[in-house]
Structure formats: C-alpha cells, structure tokens
Amino acid sequence: MTVPQQSPSSADTLGPARELDAVVVGAGFAGMYMLHRLRALGLSVTVLEAGDGVGGTWYWNRYPGARCDSESYYYSYSFSDELQQEWEWTERYPGQPEIMRYLNHVADRFDLRRDIRFGRRVTEAAFREETGRWELRTDDGDRYSATFFITAVGCLSAANIPQIAGLDTFGGEWYHTGRWPHEGVDLTGKRVGVVGTGSTGIQAIPVIAEQADHLTVFQRTPNYSIPARNGPMEREFQRDVKANYDAIRRQQRASTNGHPFEISDTPALSVPDEERRAVYEAAWERGGLRFRAAFADLLVDKEANDTASEFIRGKIRDIVLDPETAEKLLPRDHPFATKRPPIDTQYFETYNRDNVTLVDVRQSPIEEVTSTGLRTSSAEYELDVIVFATGFDALTGPLLNIDIRGVGGTALREKWSEGPRTYLGLHAAGFPNMFTITGPGSPSVLTNMPTSIEQHVDWIADCIEYLGSHGFDRIEATVEAEDAWVEHVNEAADRTLLPLAGSSWYLGANVPGKPRVFMPYAGGFATYARRCDEVAGNGYEGFVLTM
C-alpha cells in the first residue's frame, strides 16, 4: 500500500491526499477485476466504493425477484480458469443473493478487500495540469491523488425516482427497487403499488403479488417479455460447461452480444409462416434472451420484427384470461427488443390472480401521491407501500453524478450537455488518463456485461502497461478521433431498429430533460473488440501519448 503523504498540488485544501498510481471508482464486476489486473502490474491502487460491500449493481438491487437475465455459467468472470472450475452455480439464471455470494468469493479468493475502501462515495475528480494527476474527493472528506482515474461505476446505478407531486406527503412506505433496504421489506398483508414494467417490474411483480394482500401495477408502456424458464442447474450440464469453458468463452468473445449462442442466419420472412411459427414456439419454450436470436434480421428489418412482435402479442392474449387486461398489456408502440427485452417467470400469468389490478397510466396519468396512496387522472388507489421500478439514469447518470473536471477545469457535465462524447466509450477527449469501463459509446448494456467488462479492463490494463514500458505518463484522445467515433456510434444505431423505441433508456428518454442520443454502441461486441485491438496495435491510434 502506498503511504499517505501531502500532495503538492493540493496544498490549498485540508488534509493529506493519498498518493496512488490509480484510483478505481466502484467495486462491482468491473472495479474488482480492474484492481486485480492493475495490482498484477505492480501499481498502487485503491478502489473507492459507496456501498459497504462489493457487488456494485447487485449490492443495491435487492428487490423481490432480482435475478440476472444472462445465464449463470457465462454471467461470470473468465479470467481465472481455477475460479470458473471451482464455482458451482445452482440455477440457470443466478438470483441476486447467489451473485453476491459469487462476488464475495472472488473478493476473498483474490484478496481484493485490502485495497477497497467501502462507504466512500466519490463526489469530485479533477485533473491538475501542473502535476498531470487526478485529485479525487469523497463525501467523507477523504482525498486521493492518482496518475490514472478509472470509473467502474456501472451503467445502471443512478436510480430514476419520478418527481411525482406529493411524494413527501405519503403516509405509507415507498422504495425504489435499485435502493432496496438490505433487511428486506415485509409486504405480507399490504396493499402494494408497483410503478414501472421494465425488466425490474416484470421480475418483481409476480413475487410481490404472492406476498401482498393486493397489488396494483401502474403501467406506462406495455412490454414484450419472454419466459425465462429458470430452474436448477443440472449437474451434467454444469460438468459439460466446465469441460468446454475455453470454447464457450471464445464463442462469447466472437459474438454480437457476449452470449455463447449463435444468432440464426435465416431471415424471418424467408421461411413459410408455419415454419417461422415453429421456430418461435421452440424459442419460446427454450426461453430467455436467446429468443431474439431466432432469426437473423429481427433487429434490422421492421417487417421481420413484426412477426416476432405479433407472435409475442399472441402469447399474451393466450395467457391473460381477461381480454380487457390482455389488451392493455399488448406492446404496440415499439418493435420487440428495441427496448431492453425482459425475461420473466409467470409475469403475464400474474394478471390472472384475483389480487392483482393493472392500471394504464398512459391513458390515465399519475397526477399525485396522496397521504394514502396514488391518484391518477381517473381514480384514486389506496396503498400501504409504493414500489418504484422506474429504472435508472442510465450510462451517463453514474458518471455525471460525480463532478468530473478535465483539462482547464472543463466539466464532463458541460462537455456532455448535448449527449455523451467518447472515444470507443473508453475515454473522453480533454480528460487525460481517465478511463470509463463500459462507458457510453461502448457495447455495454447491449451485451452480457461481464464479457464487455473483461474486454475493457484488459484493454485499459494493457494500455497502462504499454505507457509505463514506453516511458509515457499521459494519454488523451484527439477530438478528431472522438468525433469520428461518436459519428460511428450513431451510424451503428441507425443501421438497426433500436432508435425506433422512442421511450427507451438507451436513448435517455426515460429521464425528463436528458438529451436524446442513442448511447450504447450497436455495432456488435466482436466488431467493437477488434476495433479496440487495432487501435492498441497501431500504437494507440487516435490518442496522443506524451512523457
């Protein structure tokens, strides 16, 4: 560990800054692996984490039914074969507690905790031109100075709590799913309202319906959802996976979304209706995110997509017994999978329960929270508990919640006021030696996150090693390289149907006032990783490296 000492550049402020080679912000999947890699390079590193434990998004998202939509055997680190051989997953999709057990195991196994400072939220990070170092501050007044500043803050960690009039007058309890109390919430016998039917609401609603006396779901946009078909991990399957991990990981890295399965190369409309229906039926039975890989062109051809969208609407009509409720649940305003497609366990079936009511708040908007519940433009609902499953200020939110200042004191908030601008989603021009793991402009949320995280962490660690071994101590992207990348990110999105979902958080549309810019890179994981490798292979093309 580096010994704390006075930083000459911070003599104007109280208390000594801890001098380090690198500060990493966040101790989820990304921050933990970044620490492991940088430590192996012999760097002094501290990870600053707001929570009291490791886990990142999984530390906070403890709502009922919280579960990953990627399958457990590949929603995991690949960097250590010993780790992937020794860890036993118990279910097809890992629940939040199991992911936390896994990440805590990783923290212990690689002795990570000694360099993580928990309970510290970074509030400011400023690049000092005179020293070429980053100065960081936390909410408890701690100060750090480092050559490299690496954000591992996650894409979905800034809770989006709607500004509904009267919320402070509510006499009951209210929670956001992304800030769920660690001790849990007993909903037994309660009248519960859930606002939001994204992936989170769709996971939580069936579980809450079983606990609550009555559940009222406030839905703004109906969603497509595919059955997850969760179940216990079969021993034989786990044995097979472990014997074939090399091939599985290779397939993930060669894929579009970081999942170890192929996207069909058959266009949806190239086969007769009956055959297409049989393909969808089989995909529906198999369950999971793989449904969108059933045909080659579901995300690029609207007519092809219509066949999938209509198939799912048909399933909703079949499952939901009350035709009026079924009608309200039919997604029509966006093509399938242009918003993040949820997967579920008994979601649509839940609306057949006597204790569940669906309210369409697109038709009758929520007007206020009263002392006893929620009032829409057409009715009042008495509630003991309100659960906001209203999502996140995605991708940029977690970064802009920190006051980050680059060369000349320029604020990242100012630079990104019209939407994020990055080179490769890894770095922003004017912010030397700062790296953003799974930042906007990288494939991030369009992929299986650990795959994208490992690729970014490896790239950043290799870059820092290269700088050191070539005598450089500063790296910064050129504005030209950044502009070209931003343009490429837009083109990649425009080649797909993704921008058609007008209310998607991919576009920032869920947060009032946020610029509408398609933020993740939609050109595919493998293509993207190849581009990053080329950039590095060409001596960090598009970056300026200085001594």
Binding site for ligand NA7 (CB under 6 A): 156, 162, 195-201, 218, 220-221, 340, 361, 366, 389-392, 445, 503, 505, 510
Buried b (16+ CB within 10 A) or exposed e, 447-478: bbbbbbbbbbbbbbbebbbebeeeebeebbbe
Give 435's strand partners: 150
- Residue 326's φ and ψ, nearest 5 degrees, are -60, -45
- Residue 460 or 501 having the CB closest to ligand NA7: 501
Rounded distance between C-alpha atoms, residue 363 and residue 503, angstroms? 16
Q: How far is the CB of 355 from ligand NA7 (least distance, A)?
A: 21
The CB-nearest residue to ligand NA7 is 198
Closest to ligand NA7 by CB, 46 or 61: 61
What is the distance of C-alpha 225 from the center of its chain?
A: 18
Q: The tokens 């000459």 sit on which residue? A: 8
Q: 545 and 472 in contact (C-beta within 8 Å)?
A: yes
Q: In the complex, what is the shortest distance from the CB of residue 23 to ligand NA7, in angstroms, rounded to a whole number? A: 27
- Sheet strands side by side (includes 366-369): 366-369, 373-376, 380-382
Helix orientation angle between 29-40 and 449-469, rounded to the nearest 10 degrees: 30
Q: Assess contact for 314 and 170: CB atoms under 8 A.
A: no
Shortest Cβ 339–ligand NA7 spacing (Å): 7
φ, ψ dihedrals at 302, nearest 5°: -60, -40
If the CB atoms of residues 366 and 498 are measured against ligand NA7, the closer one turns out to be 366
Q: Mention every residue, 6+ apart, whose C-beta is less than 8 A from residue 464.
A: 22, 38, 41, 43, 148
In the complex, the smallest distance separating the C-beta of residue 430 from ligand NA7, rounded to whole angstroms, is 30
| Shortest distance, position 350 Cβ to ligand NA7, whole Å | 15
Please, what is the minimum distance in Å from the beta carbon of residue 227 to ligand NA7?
17
Shortest distance (Å) from residue 198 CB to ligand NA7: 2
| Token couple for 494 | 């425009």
Nearest to ligand NA7 of 156, 279 (CB atom): 156
Write down the least CB distance from residue 457 to ligand NA7, Å.
20
Q: What burial class does residue 357 get, using C-beta atoms within 10 Å of its C-beta: 0-12 exposed, 13-18 middle, 19+ buried?
A: middle
Minimum CB separation from ligand NA7 for residue 221, in Å? 3
Q: Choose between 301 and 344: whose C-beta lies nearer to ligand NA7.
A: 344
* Residue 335 or 430 with smaller CB distance to ligand NA7: 335
What are residue 68's phi and psi, to 5 degrees? -80, 145
Q: 449-469 and 525-537 are packed helices; what angle lies between their axes, rounded to 10 degrees? A: 0
Decide: 350 and 209 in contact? Cβ < 8 Å: yes
Nearer to ligand NA7, 200 or 345 (CB): 200
Q: Is residue 228 helix, strand or coil?
A: coil
Residue closer to ligand NA7, measured from CB, 30 or 48: 30
Q: Tokens 């079969």 belong to which residue? A: 234
Q: 260 or 520: whose CB is closer to ligand NA7?
A: 520
CA angle, corner 416, sides to 410 and 421, nearest 5? Answer: 105
